[in-house]
Structure 1
Amino acid sequence: MNPIIIFKQTYLSNLFFQVLSGVVLTFLVGYFVPVAGALAEILFFGFVILFGIDLILLFSKKDPLTGNRLAPKRLSNGDNNTIRLQISNRYNFRVDTEIIDEIPHQFQIRNFNISSDFDANADQEFTYELRPTERGEYNFGNINVFVGTKIGFVRRKVSLPAEETVPVYPSFIQMRKFEMYAISNRLTDVGIKKIRRVGHTMEFDQIKEYVRGDDVRSINWKATARTNDLMVNQYQDERSQNVINVIDMGRVMKMPFEGLHLLDYAINTSLVISNIALIKDDKAGLVTFSNDDSVVVKPEKKRTHIQRIQEALYNLNTNFLESDYERLVISLRKHVNQRSLVLLYTNFETFSSMERQLPYLQRIAKDHLLVTIFFENTEMTKLLHEESKTIGQIYTKTIAEKFTFEKKQIVKALNQRGIQTILTPPKELSVNAINKYLELKARGLI
């Protein structure tokens, strides 16, 4: 129903004009048929009486509706966030409502509408979901409710003050999901591979009684002789190792995939990896680089350190310029003194673009265990699986195969130089990065 305004806060419905048109038509017929004229007068007076009753009922209360919006204190980027509206009807009769929430302009939602019936003096709660795709501040406006009686001639607009600003942070929902699985040792449920440990880590934990399944090579014979029970040495992952997320802020990270930019995928995964590293008692840090000043969060292992990383990630944005890898090398040598696992989030579309930066990547790999992470072009992958029927489609598919092959060549060239790589679709970035982190820890390479 599209209401039409006649004066402030009062709108005439389509039903009003339909009935009015019928009354006018009856008057026209009554000009030729006297009986119809008498009927038209009766309909007109009945129409006026109903219209007046409708107005009186709607404006019988000064504040007929109350309500508020329950939004999270911050929204999670790239995830569905639940928004709740609580509306109370103070009328002593049943009403029809259309609720229009003033959603932040970033979502570009122009058809938001919730229709509902309210019983007399009743409360209702409505929920809807928003999926932001950019970090920053999002401004909500008022909650507008168009309310009408069962007569349906008039709609009264009630604006409920609910203006608020909500920041959108990197995906803390994704971070909490992986944190929950990590704590409960159920990471395999979300695609994390179970890595078989090669040999022992170097950090001794404790001596405990042997149970079936323990490695017999870990039996401690001296402790066994003292206690007359079979005892084994228990080892744990080495701790306090540096895990540095390095994010390329150049224009190559502005490429969009499924609503989010590559930069946002990298930011969300950096938050997840940092949190997992802290759970594993490692130190998490952050370095960004472009062609100018960088952001550096030095590695620490306090659990509260994740808040500093999250705040740093919140303000990151690309400047659309070419990134300076030499500046990155200098920044790492200045701020990171200990050999670390460096997860470099960037993107190479061609082999030549990688070759230009290869000397700097090799210099980083001399001091740290470097993992270069870049992205599959999922649109190219779709083209490869489509049937080609025309010459133009064949040409396009050939170009797509060329770029896809170059990505594989980049992986091969980096691996030959001792640089670890992850080539991943954007949506699978978090899972693949965690798998690589756990694999490197299990192999004792960090």
Structure 2
Amino acid sequence: MLVYGILTVALGIAAVGDLSWWYVFAIDLIVFLVSFGDLFFSPKKSQLRFKRTLAEEMERGLPYSVVIEVSNPTAYSFSYRLIDSLPQSFVRPFPVRGTILKDSVVRITYETSPADRGKYEINKLYFRYRSLFGLWEKQTTIELPEELKVIPDLTETRQYLENAQKFLLYEGLKIRKQLSGSGEFAKIRSYVVGDDPRKINWRQTAKLREVMTNEYEPEHGKYITILIDCGRMMGAELKKGNRLEKALEASLTVAAAALKKGDYVSVLAFSKEIKVYVPPAKGMAHLQTILQAIYNVKVDAAESNYAAVLQYLEMMQKKRSLILLFSDVRTFLHEESALIYLKRLRQRHLFFMIGVEDQTLVKRTKTEPADVQAAMLKSIAQQQMLFKKREKNKWEKQGLQMIEAPEEQLAVTAVSQYIEIMNQSLL
């Protein structure tokens, strides 16, 4: 278009003089037809081969590389632009530009990051390339169907599985030792300074002529039931994601910790009705079953029906278990009907609720009342905190423990509470 525009302007100026308009139109037409010869110096669409390589599963918020392999078996080099059909919730660094030489295979790499969990289909690849002189550009659309799953961020789960003590110490917490002499017998080892003298194994000490001691560990084979609230309030946005995202990440970390210790884990996701139920099982392979069942749960625009889910749980879970509920504490405190079912569940199960702390409310209670408006905001925030504290005390008197944690410490707090309950043999 640039060459054609310059030529047209030049001929137009010449036409003002003695040059005939017929010559102008004839020269324009000849140049236009000659330009088609440039198309012979570019590959045909059917000669190019494309292949996309990407991970079948991506974790939310983490960067991943996608590779597009382009095979050019022709004798022509060309420059290109490509756009991949990624969903709108992905980072889209398009168009990707570059050059492919003749008779070569090029691997084009770009980086993306998914923002929302779910199952996606990526079908088309849009590819444009220019000929040798760049007078014409061809476009081809390639069908490359792919299925992609975006799962929760498992960074904290991996950190725990790599080193449980280091994972907890990072947040200033320690794995608590179990009560003396409690738990299952693990092994006999050499006595070291600081061991409980009551655990000395005198028979092995006399046989080996070296002080030996018994080592115990928390009992295995306990039942852990994780409840994940998917109601309206779990859609509240946090610094990274929303409450449901943090609850999913924390619940998977707790599940990994319990499965690693040989416990049975079941998971139930709910809102106004039951969305997902994974029956109890043990072994690390069960973690993948849980992940595939809950990775696509979404926040519902409805209030959670706690009474229905607790009634369902009472019917499904007959053995004594630790029930960990990830939900919004403030919303739960208004559910008087749930208290009746929880009192019945408490007779058989141990209940513990974990929620994300409202940082805005905490910040409001600590602000200086510089003016009337700030004083009103602070007083309302303090009133809400007092209401929450009063209602929590009422529930805790019934033996129903509740705790709130900052969003970045939710997984650590949940695992720490689980370990403490197991080490104290409360089940």
Which TM-score band applies after superposition, normalised by the shorter structure? Answer: 0.7 to 0.9
Q: 1:124 to 1:312 in 2, by over 3 A?
A: closer
Alignment RMSD, CA only?
A: 3.7
Superposed, 1:50-61 pairs within 5 Å as 51-58=35-42, 60-61=43-44
Match of 1:20 in 2: 4
Q: Which moved more, 1:43-52 or 1:251-260?
A: 43-52
Q: Is the 8 A contact 2:204 2:212 kept in 1?
A: yes
Superposed, 1:410-425 pairs within 5 Å as 411-425=392-406
Shift of 1:344: 0.6
Q: Percent identity?
A: 25
Match of 1:13 in 2: none
Give the structure-1-normalised TM-score: 0.79
Paired residue for 1:157, among 136, 139, 149? Answer: 139
Shift of 1:423: 0.9
How far apart, CA to CA, are the structure 2 residues paired with 1:274 and 1:234? 25
Shift of 1:67: 1.9
**2:94 equivalent to 1:112:** yes
Give the structure-2-normalised TM-score: 0.82
How far apart, CA to CA, are the structure 1 residues paired with 2:363 and 2:4? 57
Shift of 1:119: 2.9
Shift of 1:333: 2.6
Shift of 1:32: 5.2
Q: 1:154 to 1:217 in 2, by over 3 A?
A: farther
How far apart, CA to CA, are the structure 1 residues paired with 2:291 and 2:8? 66
Shift of 1:204: 1.0
Match of 1:197 in 2: 177
Match of 1:10 in 2: none
Shift of 1:243: 1.1
How far apart, CA to CA, are the structure 2 residues paired with 1:145 and 1:229? 75
Paired residue for 1:231, among 209, 212, 225? Answer: 212
Q: Which moved more, 1:212-221 or 1:276-285?
A: 212-221
Superposed, 1:240-255 pairs within 5 Å as 240-255=221-236
Q: Is the 8 A contact 2:223 2:280 kept in 1?
A: yes
How far apart, CA to CA, are the structure 2 residues paired with 1:288 and 1:429? 18
Shift of 1:314: 3.9
Q: 1:209 to 1:108 in 2, by over 3 A?
A: closer
3-state secondary structure, aligned to 1:431: helix
Q: Which moved more, 1:344-353 or 1:407-416?
A: 407-416
Shift of 1:102: 0.7
3-state secondary structure, aligned to 1:98: strand
Paired residue for 2:238, among 257, 281, 299? Answer: 257
Superposed, 1:274-423 pairs within 5 Å as 274-293=255-274, 295-314=276-295, 316-349=297-330, 353=334, 357-380=338-361, 395-396=376-377, 399-400=380-381, 402-403=383-384, 406-407=387-388, 411-423=392-404
Paired residue for 1:83, among 54, 62, 66? Answer: 66
Deviation by residue 1:54-110 (Cα, 9 ceiling, x = unmatched) = 32212x4343432222222233345444433223333434322111001125x2767
Shift of 1:146: 1.0
Q: Is the 8 A contact 2:250 2:410 kept in 1?
A: yes
How far apart, CA to CA, are the structure 2 residues paired with 1:65 and 1:266? 47
Match of 1:440 in 2: 421
Superposed, 1:103-182 pairs within 5 Å as 103-105=86-88, 107=89, 112-120=94-102, 121-135=104-118, 137-149=119-131, 151-171=133-153, 175-182=157-164
Q: 1:81 to 1:436 in 2, by over 3 A?
A: farther
Shift of 1:20: 2.7
**2:79 equivalent to 1:99:** no
3-state secondary structure, aligned to 1:353: coil
Q: Is the 8 A contact 1:50 1:151 kept in 2?
A: no
Match of 2:99, as an amino acid? D
How far apart, CA to CA, are the structure 2 residues paired with 1:115 and 1:292? 49
**2:57 equivalent to 1:74:** yes
Shift of 1:420: 2.8
Deviation by residue 1:321-374 (Cα, 9 ceiling, x = unmatched) = 333333333333322233221101111336862666444444433432221112
Match of 1:95, as an amino acid? F
Match of 2:71, as an amino acid? S
